[in-house]
Amino acid sequence: MQEMERENYRMLEEITSNFNSERKVKNILLVGLPAAGKSSLINSFAYLILGRYLPIASVGHGNQLTHTLAADRYPQFGITEGHLRGSPKEGTARTIHPYLPHLTDFIGLADENTQEISEIFITADTRSP
């Protein structure tokens, strides 16, 4: 178990080494098939950072219906000050929290390269701060 904790910490350091106070906050758009695990990935990030499970994004629990019905935005991985307090990894989490990127969990899309999908990426790219 300690080996996994060390690996998790190393991954967090690698992620946050790409961010510093002089850079703009990064934005990440999660796009994929319905029920591909985009929302579960957000919840996994929270677990990795806080050391406890936190259901930030609603997930479908294996069914093929998407639970994300629009673009849901999660500033700083959806982790708030309240989530930090008392978390098992509070010290580390507080250190990296200001540098965490914003995630946008997009509705599941068909596995096709359509004009609609291309427009989504163009729009997302032009709206990024």
Contact 47, 53 (CB under 8 A): yes
The three-state secondary structure class of 4 is helix
Domain hosting residue 120, numbered range: 2-127
Start-to-end C-alpha separation, the chain:
39
Nearest alpha-carbon partner for 104 in 126, 74, 125, 80: 74
Task: Give me the residues paired with residue 72 across strands.
Answer: 105
DSSP label of 89: T
Print pLDDT tens along the chain (129 aa).
678 778 877 777 776 666 555 556 688 888 877 778 888 889 998 898 999 998 988 886 655 555 556 778 899 989 999 999 999 999 989 988 988 888 888 777 766 666 666 666 665 555 544
Please name the helix (run of DSSP H) or strand (run of DSSP E) that holds residue 102, with its range, or none: strand 102-105
How many independent structural domains does the chain possess? 1
Q: What is the pLDDT of residue 72?
A: 85
